[in-house]
Each structure stands twice: as C-alpha cells, then as structure tokens.
Amino acid sequence: MENQVLTPHVYWAQRHRELYLRVELSDVQGLALLPRLECSSVIIAHCSLELLGLSNPPTSASQVGLQNPAISITENVLHFKAQGHGAKGDNVYEFHLEFLELVKPEPIYKLTQRQVNITVQKKVSQWWERLTKQEKRPLFLAPDFDRWLDESDAEMELRAKEEERLNKLRLESEGSPETLANLRKGYLFMYNLVQFLGFSWIFVNLTVRFCILGKESFYDTFHTVADMMYFCQMLAVVETINAAIGVTSSPLLPSLIQLLGRNFILFIVIGTMEEMQNKAVVFFVFYLWSIVEIFRYPFYMLTCVDMDWKVVTWLRYTVWIPVYPLGCLAEAVSVIQSIPIFNETGRFSFTLPYPVKIKVRFSFFLQIYLIMIFLGLYINFRHLYKQRRRRYGQKKKKVT
C-alpha cells in the first residue's frame, strides 16, 4: 500500500521583487532522504574529513547531504521534500506550488532548528494578487503575518530601500561613507541638543513662574521667554532644510506646515501686536509647543547615537496625541482674539488700486488661516499617527 504524502504548514509573504516562504518543519535532515548505506558512507566521510583537520568540510546537498532539504524550481513549480519534525511527527514531508507568475529558478533557503526559510526571486518586479496559479488556496498554505505587508506599505519599504541605496551611492562618490555618516550624526545631535535646551528653558521658566505667581504669570509670558522662542523657531528652519535636501528622512510637508504655522503665530499674530503680547493665550501656545519638543528632541538625539530608551520613545510617539490638538486650538484662539485688534489698528490692511479701490482687511486672511490651521492639524496628525503605527505595529489584517 502506497504511503500517504504528508505536507507541512507553509506560510508566505511577498515584496515587489521577492517571495518569502516559511516551512514549519524542525530538525530538517536531508540525510534522512538518502538510502541507509549511502547515509552511513556520508557520515563516515564527513567525520574523516574533520579528523584530517579540514576546517571547512563540504556541506552542500551534492557533497554530503547533511542539513539540506530537496528544494528546486522547475517549470515555475516549487518542489520541496525533506525529513523533519512536523505536525505528523518525524516523517518525510513534501509539497509542490505552481506560482502565479514567472520566478527565477534558483531558490535560496536557510535552515534553522525550527523551520526552513525559502526566498524566491520574481522575474518581474510586481505585486501579486495571490501566490499560486490556482485560485483556491491550498489547505497547507497561509499568510505569514510576521512579514506581511499591504501593497502600499511594501511600496513605501521599496522606496525607502531605494532612497537608502541612492544615498549610499552618493556618499560613496563624495567620500568615506563612515566619515560622512559620523559627521551627519554629530551635526544632527548638536542641532537637536540646542533645540532641546532652548525649549527646556522655556518649559521650566513657564512652569516655575506659574507655580510661584499662579495666573498672574500668564500675562507677561511673551516678555519673559519671547527671545528664546524667537531663537528656537528661527533655528527650526534648519529642520525643514534638512528634510528638503535629504539630510533626514522626515517628510518635507509636515515639517514645513509646522514651521510656517508656528512662525506666523509667533512673528505676525503675536509679535507685531503689543495688545496680543499681554494675553493669557500666549502662555498656553508657548507651553504646549515646548511640551511637544522636550520629548521629541531627546528621542532624535538618542537616535543619532543609535540608542533606544523605551520610555523616551513611547513619550515621543504618545505625548503628541493630546498635546498637538490642544496646541492647534490655542493657536486658533490667538488668531480669533487678534482679529478685532487688527481691524481696529488697520495693520497689514491695504486698498486695491484704481478702479477697484476696495480695502482688504488683514482679518480676512486671518479667517482663511483659521481654516488652514485645522487642515494642517489633519495632515500632521495623520503623519504622526502613521509614524506611531509603524513603530508599534498594527493589528494583523485577515488575508484570504
């Protein structure tokens, strides 16, 4: 009676250029597939080579047969056969998979004590809707959620790798990659350190004054910390430039939105109107800005020296959730409070030339800016949420 063919559990994932297969089979020994007499001869030969002092005795399937399953691709079909410990105990397991599209016939595999990892290169870089040519998925095949990515996430990963490759080529053409990388890290570390010290000074100053003076400290916030806030926000231009020229991998748009938005509030709405500088809302705007930054910049500093403190990382990816919307709300309140002041003083208002001769009040632009504040909030909140999701993962999606 012919023995039943046993199939192991196989999990798969893909990228645009590669397929990943994980075969749940432990203690795989290709030697077990050989005849008993040949096995004995191979073992004796292998041991003899070790006794003769050969430091690298042959270990490929064609030379010895140890720790090598039979894996091949013929006519776009993957053939796998090996002895190991699977769901049905210690037995010979095998399976065959006909791929949906063409692949290169040279699979690469790696054995571990618990599984066999197989990598197959696609002939054409593209996204497959499924793994096999047959529409119905084999019962032994399932998605590998540990490596699974959606097409959009895989494209982001591919772009990141391509950017990394291009940056590497650029650095190699300009000089020693290691030297340039160290200079870049040193420059970024110093920038983040200066910003951290500046915003920390603002945060501590406002906190101490509030503890001592209470609500009275709200009304002279601007005159107390404005110089340092001017310095930090002007220096923040460097952060946007870094994103624009590729010194950092941060997206340009969120950085630019934050820079322009904060500087508009600081230099135009508050800085040009003395009546605004004595309002309590200034305290809340400056305080909420500094709270975000005293957790963000230490995280960047640690990243520059390849360190990861879990508490700092968690705070960097979590504090913004309540603080960022509150900061935008405080900015909106400052704009609303400034509208009647700008109307009364007529500052930045102008009259269109003849024949129109219509007076355009600056408050009109402030009202438009109110809408832009919440649009910017949506863009930056979405960006920060994606960062947090990539850092801490997301719930596994069911894939059919």
What would the pLDDT profile of 183-228 be if each residue is shown by its tens digit?
889 999 999 999 999 999 999 999 999 999 999 999 999 999 999 9
- 344 vs 154 pLDDT, higher one: 344
pLDDT band at 366 (very low <50, low <70, confident <90, very high): very high
Highest mean pLDDT among 127-136, 158-167, 226-235: 226-235
pLDDT at 36 over 80: no
One-letter identity of residue 314: W
pLDDT at 21 over 50: yes
pLDDT at 300 over 70: yes
Q: Using CA atoms, how far apart are residues 20 and 18, in angstroms rounded to an integer?
A: 7
pLDDT at 32 over 50: no
Nearest to 317 by CA among 257, 385, 255: 385
The encoded tokens of residue 314 equal 């968690």
pLDDT band at 12 (very low <50, low <70, confident <90, very high): very high
One-letter identity of residue 101: E
Burial pattern 230-252, b for ≥16 Cβ within 10 A else e, equals: eebbeebebbbebbeeeebebee
Average pLDDT value for the chain: 84
Nearest to 281 by CA among 233, 346, 215, 235: 215
Under DSSP, the state recorded for 308 is: -
Catalytic machinery residues: 324, 331
What's the pLDDT at 66? 41
One-letter identity of residue 145: F
Q: Which residues contact 262 (CB under 8 A, 6 or more apart)?
A: 233, 236, 289, 331
Choice among 164-168, 212-216, 285-289, 318-322 with the minimum mean pLDDT = 164-168
Q: Using CA atoms, how far apart are residues 62 and 80, in angstroms rounded to an integer?
A: 16
User: Taking the model in full, what pTM does it have?
Assistant: 0.54
Domains of the chain: 5-26+65-150 (2.60.40.790), 177-393 (no CATH)
* Residue pair 148/16 in contact by the 8 Å Cβ criterion: no
